[in-house]
Amino acid sequence: MVEEDEENAQLTAQLRFIGGQVNMLMDLCVAFISANSDPEGLAQRFEATVKNTLTHTDMKIIAQEFFDGELDIVNRVRHEVMSALPRKEKQHKEIPALLAASADADKLAPSKSSASRSLEALTSEWMDRASELEKNNAGS
């Protein structure tokens, strides 16, 4: 019983350590995203990285918790990247709006960037892979 308690304490300490690492890495990601001068390019690079991860992940050998952890990080980083896009788009749209005050308001309305649409498609693909993993695990 004492050995089991010590083992549980070690596992808890390791999980807390990893949790601290993940939190720090997320904070660094947010700092890099906020400082990036090209959020559209960053969104495209992020999408390419996630697609690469998806294509190289063997869904049959990973645990659901591992996949859920990856999906959580992807969603957290994606949220930060997507938040950066409107800030830059707004900055670019304010200048033409000031120069052409008589322009039609509909023409100045923000539209979804190609990166936003691509990231939405990627999220859908990721969720499809999660469903596939759940089906594989249910069949095992």
Measured distance CA(33)–CA(49) in Å, rounded: 15
Please give the average per-residue pLDDT across 93-107, as a whole number: 44
Domain boundaries, the chain: 1-35, 37-139
| 3-class secondary structure, 60 | coil
Residue 102 Cα distances to 59, 81, 99, angstroms: 55, 32, 9
pLDDT of residue 14: 92
Radius of gyration of the chain from its Cα atoms, rounded to whole angstroms: 21
What's phi and psi for 113, nearest 5 deg?
A: -75, 165
pLDDT digit string (tens) for 10-68? 999 999 999 999 999 999 999 999 898 898 899 999 999 988 887 887 777 778 888 88
* Cβ-Cβ contacts under 8 Å for 80 (sequence gap 6 or more): 29, 30, 33, 34
pLDDT digit string (tens) for 64-96? 888 888 888 988 998 998 888 876 555 555 444
Q: Which two tokens stand for residue 20?
A: 């601290």
What's phi and psi for 110, nearest 5 deg?
A: -65, 140
pLDDT of residue 25: 93
More confident residue, 50 or 133: 50
